[in-house]
C-alpha cells in the first residue's frame, strides 16, 4: 500500500506539490483541499471541500483516511496553529508550529529574532502608536519601507521614495485594521532580490536552489506588487560563494535561534533576500512555507522524491537526505486575469491547455472545473513552467506554451528572467 497524503491550499504552489507527490510510485493518493481545476484532474489526486482553517474537520478526515502526512501550503493555517493541532492529535503535518510561523506572521517578532541571532537585515523601528510613527517618518530621510506587522496578503508593504508616500502608507495600514496596528518602518535596501528556501528539521538545513520571483505586475519590475508573476531557478546571482554566505550568515543562525527559543521548527524556512554588489545577503523577510511561484520552478528540478524529503523533515531525519537536482534550469510564467492585482475578471473559459502541455508543465492557480469546463477563477490563473538545458531554453519553452493558452483578458509579463539573462550575456 502506498502513501496517502493531504495537501492544504488552492494555488499554483499546491498544484505543483500535488503533482510532484503524485508522480512518485510510493504515493497512492493525494487529497487536496480545496484544490483547484488542475488538482481536480491530476492523476492520483482528488479535491476535497474541507476549509483550511477547520482543523477539527481536517484532523477527522486525516484519521478516517489514515493519511500518512498532511502538507500545509499557505501561511494562514500555520499561523493559526495547524501544526500544533495535528501534533496534539498524534498526526504528522509538514510545517512549523504556531510559534515558528511567527517568523512570517509578525515582522516585528522576526526582526527581534534576527537581531538576537546577528542575522543581517535592514535596520528598523517598531511602532504601536501611529502618531509616533508619523513623527519618525517626518524626521527620517527617505527612502523608507513601511510594513504592517501581521499577515496582509501582500498588501502590507510600501517602499516609499518620498515622505508623503510613507505617511499615506501609514494611514492605509491604520485602515487595514488588526494586522496594521503594529507598524515596522525600515531602512531601504538596494540590490537584487532572490528567494532561498530551505528544508529544515530544526537541526539539519538543506537549502534548495536559489530562485528569483518577479513581484511587480509590469515589465521591468514596475507597477504594483502581486503574489508573484513568474520565477526561475537556479538564479545565477547566487554563486556558490554567495550561497555559502547565505547558509552561514542567514539560515544557520536563524534555525539555531529558533531552536534556542525552544521552537519546534520543521518545514520550510523561506528567506527573501537582498543581495548587494559585494554579494552580501540581507534578509527582507522570512516566510514559514514554500513560495508561490518559486515552488513551480523548484519542484520540477528536484530529483529526490519529494515525499521522502517531507517525511524526513517531520521525522527529524533530514541529515539522511541529500537533495539531488536536475541539471539545467526551470522557468515559470504566471498568466493572470485582467485587472489583477486589483479587482479582476473571472469565469472565462480557458483554451489551449492540451497544446501548451506538450512542451511545458501547467500548474493551475485560479481555475475551477464547472460542468466539465475549465474556467478562470482567481487573480493568478495559471503558472506555465518549463525545464531547459539552460535558462534561455527554459524561458523559450515556457513562453511558447503560454502562447497556446487563451482566455479573455489573459495577461503575462513578457520579461521573466530578464535580470539573469542580462547578467549572463
Ligand atoms: P515583503 O512582503 O516584506 O516581501 O515586501 C514586499 C516587497 O517590498 C519585497 O519583495 C521588496 O521588493 C520590497 N521591500 C521590502 N522590504 C524592503 C527593504 N527593506 N528595502 C527595499 N525593498 C524592500
Ligand atoms: N513568491 C512570494 C511568496 O511566496 O511569498
Q: Are residues 216 and 316 in the same domain?
A: yes
Is position 113 within any domain?
no
**3-state class (DSSP) for residue 297:** helix
- DSSP secondary structure of 342-373: SS-----B-B-HHHHTTTSEEEESSEEEETTE
Average pLDDT over residues 269-279: 97
Reported pTM:
0.96
Count of alpha carbons within 13 angstroms of residue 228, beta-carbon side: 30
- pLDDT at residue 422 tops 90: no
CATH code for the domain of 303: 3.30.470.20
For ligand 1, atom 11, name the residue with the nearest CA.
284
Is position 378 within any domain?
yes
What is the chain's mean pLDDT, rounded?
96
Q: Are residues 288 and 238 in the same domain?
A: yes
CA of 284 relative to ligand 1 center, distance in Å:
6
Is position 287 within any domain?
yes
What is the spatial distance between Cα 390 and Cα 331, in angstroms, rounded to a whole number? 10
Answer for the pair 229, 214: CB distance below 8 angstroms, yes or no. yes
Is position 341 within any domain?
yes
Q: Are residues 309 and 212 in the same domain?
A: yes
- pLDDT at residue 137 tops 80: yes
| pLDDT, tens only, 331-381 | 999 999 999 999 999 999 999 999 999 999 999 999 999 999 999 999 999
What is the spatial distance between Cα 105 and Cα 178, in angstroms, rounded to a whole number? 12
- pLDDT at residue 48 tops 80: yes
Q: Of 163, 187, 211, which marks where a domain is finished?
A: 187
Q: Indicate whether residue 104 lines ligand 2 (CB < 6 A).
A: no
CATH code for the domain of 166: 3.30.1490.20
CATH code for the domain of 364: 3.90.600.10
Q: Are residues 314 and 351 in the same domain?
A: no
CATH code for the domain of 82: 3.40.50.20
As for how many domains the chain has, the answer is: 4
Q: Are residues 393 and 408 in the same domain?
A: yes
Atom of ligand 2 nearest to the CA of 228: 1
For ligand 1, atom 9, name the residue with the nearest CA.
284
| pLDDT, tens only, 144-197 | 999 999 988 777 899 999 999 999 999 988 887 766 689 999 999 999 999 999
Q: Indicate whether residue 159 lines ligand 1 (CB < 6 A).
A: yes
Q: Phi and psi of 100, rounded to 5°?
A: -70, -35
| pLDDT, tens only, 244-271 | 999 999 999 999 999 999 999 999 999 9
Average pLDDT over residues 135-141: 96
Taking the CA of 195 as reference, the closest ligand is: 2
- pLDDT at residue 425 tops 90: no
Choosing from 104, 140, 145, 192 the residue with most ligand 1 atoms within 8 A of its CB, the one to mutate for a pocket test is: 145
For ligand 2, atom 5, name the residue with the nearest CA.
291
Helix (H) or strand (E) holding 229: none
The residues that bridge with 168 in the sheet, in sequence order, are none
Q: Are residues 352 and 413 in the same domain?
A: yes
Is position 88 within any domain?
yes
Q: Indicate whether residue 291 lines ligand 2 (CB < 6 A).
A: yes
What is the spatial distance between Cα 224 and Cα 343, in angstroms, rounded to a whole number? 13
- pLDDT at residue 242 tops 80: yes
| pLDDT, tens only, 78-128 | 999 999 999 999 999 999 999 999 999 999 999 999 999 999 999 999 999
Q: Are residues 164 and 227 in the same domain?
A: no
- pLDDT at residue 63 tops 70: yes
Q: Which domain holds residue 414?
A: 329-424
Q: Are residues 37 and 69 in the same domain?
A: yes
Q: Which of 377, 309, 375, 401 is nearest to 21 (CA)?
A: 309
Is position 118 within any domain?
no
Q: Indicate whether residue 350 lines ligand 1 (CB < 6 A).
A: no
Query: So what's the pLDDT on residue 82?
Result: 98
Q: Are residues 181 and 196 in the same domain?
A: no
CA distances from 343 to 10, 168, 171, 183, 339 (A): 19, 21, 21, 26, 6
CA distances from 298 to 92, 163, 209 (A): 24, 39, 7
Amino acid at each position: 500500500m502506498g502513501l496517502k497524503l493531504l495537501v492544504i491550499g488552492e494555488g499554483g504552489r499546491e498544484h505543483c506539490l500535488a503533482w510532484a507527490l503524485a508522480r512518485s510510485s510510493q504515493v497512492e493518493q493525494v487529497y487536496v483541499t480545496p484544490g483547484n481545476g488542475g488538482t481536480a484532474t491530476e492523476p492520483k489526486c482528488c479535491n476535497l471541500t474541507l476549509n483550511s482553517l477547520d482543523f477539527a474537520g481536517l484532523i477527522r478526515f486525516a484519521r478516517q483516511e489514515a493519511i500518512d502526512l498532511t502538507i500545509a501550503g499557505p501561511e494562514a493555517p500555520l499561523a493559526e496553529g495547524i501544526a500544533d493541532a495535528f501534533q496534539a492529535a498524534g498526526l504528522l503535518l509538514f510545517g512549523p508550529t504556531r510559534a515558528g510561523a511567527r517568523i512570517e506572521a509578525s515582522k516585528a517578532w522576526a526582526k527581534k529574532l534576527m537581531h538576537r541571532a546577528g542575522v543581517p537585515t535592514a535596520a528598523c523601528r517598531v511602532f504601536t502608536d501611529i502618531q509616533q510613527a508619523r513623527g519618525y517618518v517626518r524626521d527620517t530621510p527617505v527612502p523608507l519601507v513601511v510594513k504592517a506587522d501581521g499577515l496582509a496578503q501582500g498588501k502590507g508593504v510600501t517602499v516609499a521614495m518620498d515622505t508623503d508616500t510613507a505617511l499615506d502608507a501609514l494611514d492605509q495600514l491604520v485602515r487595514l485594521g488588526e494586522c496594521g496596528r503594529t507598524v515596522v518602518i525600515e531602512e531601504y535596501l538596494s540590490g537584487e532580490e532572490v528567494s532561498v528556501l530551505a528544508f529544515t528539521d530544526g537541526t539539519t538545513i538543506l537549502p534548495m536552489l536559489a530562485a528569483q520571483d518577479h513581484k511587480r505586475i509590469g515589465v521591468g519590475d514596475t507597477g504594483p506588487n502581486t503574489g508573484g508573476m513568474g520565477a526561475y531557478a537556479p538564479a545565477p546571482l547566487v554563486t556558490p560563494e554567495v550561497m555559502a554566505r547565505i547558509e552561514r550568515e542567514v539560515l544557520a543562525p536563524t534555525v539555531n535561534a529558533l531552536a534556542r527559543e525552544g521552537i519546534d521548527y520543521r518545514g520550510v524556512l523561506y528567506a527573501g533576500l537582498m543581495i548587494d554588489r559585494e554579494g552580501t545577503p540581507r534578509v527582507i523577510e522570512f516566510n514559514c512555507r514554500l513560495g508561490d511561484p518559486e515552488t513551480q520552478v523548484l519542484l520540477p528540478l528536484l530529483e529526490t522524491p519529494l515525499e521522502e524529503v517531507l517525511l524526513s523533515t517531520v521525522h527529524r531525519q533530514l541529515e539522511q537526505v541529500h537533495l539531488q537536482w536536475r541539471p539545467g534550469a526551470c522557468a515559470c510564467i504566471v498568466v493572470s486575469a485582467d485587472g489583477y492585482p486589483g479587482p479582476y475578471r473571472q469565469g472565462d473559459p480557458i483554451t489551449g491547455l492540451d497544446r501548451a502541455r506538450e512542451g511545458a508543465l501547467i500548474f493551475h492557480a485560479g481555475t475551477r472545473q464547472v460542468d466539465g469546463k475549465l474556467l478562470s477563477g482567481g487573480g493568478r490563473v495559471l503558472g506555465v513552467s518549463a525545464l531547459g538545458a539552460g535558462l534561455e531554453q527554459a524561458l523559450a519553452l515556457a513562453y511558447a506554451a503560454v502562447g497556446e493558452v487563451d482566455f479573455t483578458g489573459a495577461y503575462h509579463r513578457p520579461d521573466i528572467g530578464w535580470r539573469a539573462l542580462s547578467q549572463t550575456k
